[in-house]
Structure 1
Amino acid sequence: MTRALTALLLALPLLLGAPGAAPAQPAAPAASPAGPSAAAPPALLPVPPALRGPWFAGGCASPTAMLHVTARAVARLPAEGPARLIRFAEARAQDGWVVGTGRGAEAPRILLRGDATALRTAEPDAKLRDDRLPGDTPLAEWRRCAAPPPAFAALHGEGLAMLGALEVLEAACGGPEAGSAGCLAALVAEGDVSGDRLLSVAEIARLVRGMTWMMAAAEDASPEGVLAAGGGGMLAGVAIGRLAMESLDYDGDGRLSAAELGQDRVALTRSLGAEGGRPLRLEGVQEGIGLLRGLLDGVMAP
């Protein structure tokens, strides 16, 4: 787990900033169409803003469950029992409902209908046809509360914040028109708690803890499982934050800026080489890297 999270965080600037600007290249001849165009992606209707945010079942003093709705996801978090996180691969309007469909073999679905003060949801069986939704699926009733109960906020607050932040990052970093600079700026903005437009070890650790919550919720973890994942995320978050700081903090101020995250990843401005010299033998370098990799694998092994 720690090794995977470390790789994820250190690769995040590269993965999210994949469409980086590169030096201008001669225009290539236009390719002739070789076949039919790729199929359009499924429709993704965002959940109306009035339905987003936290909802509760039961009384506000001691609710039996919490439902958190974002633009493209729903997290159902019972006080007892497994969590359920559905991130929409497809969402559409149907007969007054918003129908969100997740990924996976079963393609879980959830239907939402309501206004800013009351919400109804249905989670139909996988075998129920789309044109018959919601059918006789039981409906759940949700209400707003003035403030989330402390137990729910303490257990799920950071994870839900990361869920919303991830959607912001996907919007800023995805698609053919996304650029690395805007993507990295969004990453810093979402992770920056102090407001200084930089990322500290604690702020990076917070992002990691949020990711561990999302991983646990996506696996239908119980409240105890979510709590255990949070404990592991706390330790891993600090370790990953320090490792990222040592790797990317070029000015040594103890914080990461968008420029440091994007160093050598936004534009290839220093990769043109020099005319003098001859190629060096790289066998010794490769052996050294192999030894270092083995050492790191031993240190980071669970």
Structure 2
Amino acid sequence: MRSLGFALALLLAGPAAAQGVPEALRGAWFAGDCADPAAMLVLTGRAAARVDAEAPARLYRFATLGSAAGYALGTGTGPEAPRLMFRAAAEGLETIEPEAKTRDDRLPGDAAPQAWRRCDSPPAALAALHGEGIAFLAALENLEAACGTGTPGACAEAILRQGDVSGDARLSPAELARLARGAAWLLAVQEGATQEVLATAVGAGALGGILAARTLVESLDYDGDGRLSAAELLQDRGPGFARAAGTPEGRPLRMEGLSEGAGMLRSLMDGLLNR
């Protein structure tokens, strides 16, 4: 349940600035032999995720993007504000991860650059473990952009667009579970998981994701077709918000007990459509 709640809570983040990682540099990069890479670095519009064979994973969600010493400089969110320097190079991509104590005006400091290359066919096991998480990282940026506009219905439409694998304009439990598995991967990378721990986290997220997805569908599937539409996501939250008239007839009743069973549903819906 945690991974889906994490995915929905992330939608509370504000919109990022338009400037981002150059499109030519986005995607997956590898260090070492393509048949058995030592590390993978993924760049999206506003983030970078690094996964090594042995070392802890690292996630950079750039709060700012600038330049330093001939490199693009991305500064991550959070109290430590981690930094990543990157640029196109002869090998394909070159990055530097500066020491935390190095001042911006002295970058890159003593940190050594690392070369990365594209691989046409990364190992199947690597793609199986990381594919959905990488897709979720990119989808999350699109969700943040849409959900931060304040346009009625934009967030629900974006959720539908990013999650709708089948193209039927509905979200099935399997499609929601895919988002949850991707969120489990992202959370594990953010927490610095090793490759082994990352695999365990994604495996646990698979079961938790399908259970949470079924709960969410069952709670919002008003027409009973087993899938969620944008209209169902927006029910009581979209254009009809606060338009129920009520009536002065009758008298107040006792309210005790009405919250029973609502905690789990609230954790799923918190942050989904409301800012």
In the alignment, does 2:210 pair up with 1:238? yes
Which residue in the other structure is 1:161 paired with? 135
Structure showing greater Rg: 1
- Are the counterparts in 1 of residues 65 and 73 from structure 2 also a CA contact under 8 Å? yes
Root mean square deviation of aligned Cα: 2.8
**Secondary structure of 1:224's aligned partner:** helix
1:95 to partner: Cα distance = 3.7
Measure the CA separation in 1 of the matches of 2:229 and 2:191: 33
Residues of 1 paired with 2:90 and 2:43: CA distance? Answer: 12
Q: Is residue 88–residue 100 contact of structure 1 (8 Å, CA) maintained in 2?
A: yes
| CA shift for structure 1 position 224 | 0.9
- The 3-state SS of whatever aligns with 2:235 is coil
Q: Which among 85, 108, 117 is matched to residue 143 of structure 1?
A: 117
Give the unaligned 5+ runs of structure 2: 266-275
Does the 8 Å contact 1:17/1:180 carry over to 2? no
CA 1:44–1:124 in 2, change beyond 3 Å: closer, same or farther?
Answer: farther
Verify: 1:286 aligned to 2:256, yes or no: yes
- Unaligned ranges ≥5, structure 1: 20-40, 297-302
* Structure 1 counterpart of 2:32, one-letter code: G
**Moved runs in structure 1, 4+ residues, more than 6 A?**
41-44
| Aligned residue among 177, 181, 184 for 2:153 | 181
Which residue of structure 2 lines up, in the alignment, with residue 90 of structure 1? 64
Equivalent residues of 2:69, 2:108 under 8 A apart? no
- Residue 135 of structure 1 and its aligned partner are, at CA, apart by 2.4
Inter-partner Cα distance in structure 2 for 1:162 and 1:295:
23
In the TM superposition, what is the alpha-carbon distance from 1:148 to its structure 2 partner? 2.0
- 2:271 maps to none
- TM-score (ref. length: structure 1): 0.80
SS at match of 2:153: helix
Residues 295, 167 of structure 1: alpha-carbon distance in 2 compared, 3 angstrom cutoff: closer
Q: Which residue is 2:237 aligned to?
A: 265
Map residues 1-302 of structure 1 onto 2, 5 A cutoff.
2=1, 4-5=2-3, 7=5, 12=8, 16=11, 45-114=19-88, 118-174=92-148, 177-268=149-240, 271-281=243-253, 283=254, 285-290=255-260, 292=261
TM-score, structure 2 as length reference:
0.88
Partner of 1:28: none
Task: Give the SS at the match of 2:21.
Answer: coil
Q: Which stretch shifts more, 143-152 or 258-267?
A: 143-152
Distance 1:274 1:254 in 2: 31
Counterpart CA distance in 2 for 1:119 and 1:232 is: 34
Q: Which amino acid aligns with 2:71?
A: W
Bigger CA drift: 118-127 or 133-142?
Answer: 133-142
Q: Would the alpha carbon gap of residues 6 and 118 (structure 1) be closer, same or farther in structure 2, given more than 3 Å must change?
A: closer
Distance 1:249 1:77, change over 3 A: same
Contact 2:3 2:187 in 1 (8 A): no
Residues 156 and 8 (structure 1), Cα distance of their counterparts in 2 relative to 1, 3 Å cut: closer
Q: Could you tell me the percent identity over the aligned residues?
A: 51
Residue 153 (structure 1) shift: 0.6
Output the amino acid matched with 2:231.
A
Measure the CA separation in 2 of the matches of 1:116 and 1:170.
Answer: 34
Give, in whole Å, the separation in 2 of the partners of 1:169 and 1:67: 22
- Asked if structure 2 preserves the Cα contact closer than 8 Å seen for 1:245 and 1:255, the reply is yes
Q: CA deviation at 1:118?
A: 0.6
User: How far 1:133 sits from its partner (Å)?
Assistant: 1.0
Say whether the 8 Å CA contact 1:81–1:222 is kept in structure 2: yes
Alpha-carbon distance in structure 2 between the residues aligned to 1:117 and 1:79: 21
